[in-house]
Amino acid sequence: MEMHKLGVIVPFRDRYEHLVEFKSKIVEYLNKKNIQYELIIIEQDDAKLFNRGKLLNIGFKYAKQLNCDYVAFHDVDMIPIDVDYSYSETPTHLSSKFISKDPHFKRIVFDEYFGGVTIFPVEMFEVINGYSNDYWGWGYEDDDLLHRCKLSNIPLDSKELIVNGSNTAALKFNGIDAYVSAKNIINITQRFSIFVSFYPDELICDHKKMNDIFTIFSIPGYDFRISYNGFRRYATEIFTRDSEIIYINSDIKTNYKTNIVVTVDPTLKLIQMYQDGNLIGYEYYESSLYNYNREKNFYLGCANIDTQNKIDETYFKGLINSFAIYDGILSEKEIKEISTNKYFGLTQNFGEYISADNLKLYYDAKFIKGYELMDLSGNGNNGKISKCEMVGLSYDETKVIQIPYRRDCTFLLLSHDENGYVRNSWKDVTTRYNQLKFHNEMEQGYRNYKLDGFEDTTSNPAIIDLEYSTNINISLDSINPLFKESFLLVEIDGLTHPEAAVKLGVPVGTVLSRVYRARKELRKLLVCI
């Protein structure tokens, strides 16, 4: 049996407490599994934004020099619990399951997620020219990497998505000023359910806006919205009287025909969100929901109508073919039925769907009279159409997408602040820039990956300092105990420098000096042996 040598490449900056735990656990785990390996830590030691892709490219070069025939690109905050690091002939994603000591910290695994831990045969990483060097800060270098695999026809997995298609009609929303308005019949203090079926346009991010939020449904006075966002996911958000926002974000990264069901139960103080008949998230809340009693309309296709300026940057672009409101909570069986319904109108009972009596409003884009969507519930609440176009909608019942090969592996996540797209906004503006670069340039074919990769890592060598060890004999126990004490108080325990100075009974300048020297010694211990 051929013995393969693994290069574990870890991009690193500042998280010394993570590094200490990671190095001990990864060495123990790989030795236990009898895997031949080199552990390579690449540290960025400058004041520039973190560049994960470039660090990994540099690490790859050294892995080749150390005669590794496959590599694992590995985040420092992921500790192996049950992980298969064995050789693969094709790129394979290992980050499939996570546990965390922090119940509020989670990592989303969507179909095309390619971050965290990914293994590559050396020759295939060379074919795609490695990572891009042009994603600074957090996010999208892994999306770019997967796209390079697709462009290079690297073998990937195939997934068939059931779209539940049929031939029907829909309203086309232009993303600028098209919407539907109707009298608001929802009582926020009573139980209700909302169903909407739609098809978003291919996402082209707008460089003029810092956030891409495309509103599918809203009641502005309640601050209640269902939206499609720049992270290619769906979200439900609603406020309580205490200004607490209840937010549910879809884990499914998608851009195909879908439907959303949201149920709100003020008795249980529970909000649930379903996508294509499957529960994808729920939230409990403590106080009552916000109810201004001043907004008389709800809207499809926008968050609100600015009657003075005629400006709203959250208009939906795409197709909406049906919409319904119920004055009760749909069961999971009923939600399954209406989510897969091709042949029956929602005004009819069929299968497990028995809530026609609770149907208080129902629009089907096939039924339009004048400039109004007809309310098929019989309650006469027609929707007023503004600048929408009626079009035919024909879509396939299945859609095949290329996703990474993925092993069933479990990691412990070390806690840290969330990054990326958090509660419908970017936490860091640099991630927004990375998103624009990927969606508007890479996906649209305006960037040539052959000109930006591991071969280009020497073009600006001053950016990166390389420090690595083939056996990682680094430990806090290896540094001067005098420096270590200050380092632990500041970097591990989270004390400020003045607080540490008081605890140690030394001047603040002494603490600053000792922490600096501790960090310097740690970096020296990372230099190649």
pLDDT at 306 (0 to 100): 62
Q: Are 205 and 435 in contact (CB under 8 A)?
A: yes
Q: With 90 as the cut, is the pLDDT of residue 433 above it? A: no
Amino acid at 162: I
pLDDT at 409 (0 to 100): 94
Q: With 70 as the cut, is the pLDDT of residue 462 above it? A: no
Q: With 50 as the cut, is the pLDDT of residue 431 above it? A: yes
Q: What's the chain's average pLDDT?
A: 82
Question: Which of 171-185, 286-300, 441-455: highest mean pLDDT?
Answer: 171-185
- d(CA 385, CA 70) in angstroms, rounded, equals 58
Tens of pLDDT, residue by residue over 224-237, are 899 988 777 888 98
Average of per-residue pLDDT across 434-442: 83
To 5 degrees, how large is the angle CA 378–CA 379–CA 384?
A: 105
Residue 527 burial by Cβ neighbours in a 10 Å radius (0-12, 13-18, 19+): exposed
Q: With 90 as the cut, is the pLDDT of residue 378 above it? A: no
pLDDT at 463 (0 to 100): 30
Question: Which of 310-319, 407-416, 518-527: highest mean pLDDT?
Answer: 407-416
Q: Among 33-42, 151-160, 162-171, where is mean pLDDT lowest? A: 162-171
Q: With 80 as the cut, is the pLDDT of residue 110 above it? A: no
Tens of pLDDT, residue by residue over 262-296, are 999 999 999 999 998 999 889 988 888 876 556 78
Average of per-residue pLDDT across 315-329: 93
Which domains does the chain possess?
A: 5-156+404-463 (3.90.550.10), 167-400 (2.60.120.200), 476-525 (1.10.10.10)
Location of structure tokens 């990994």? 56
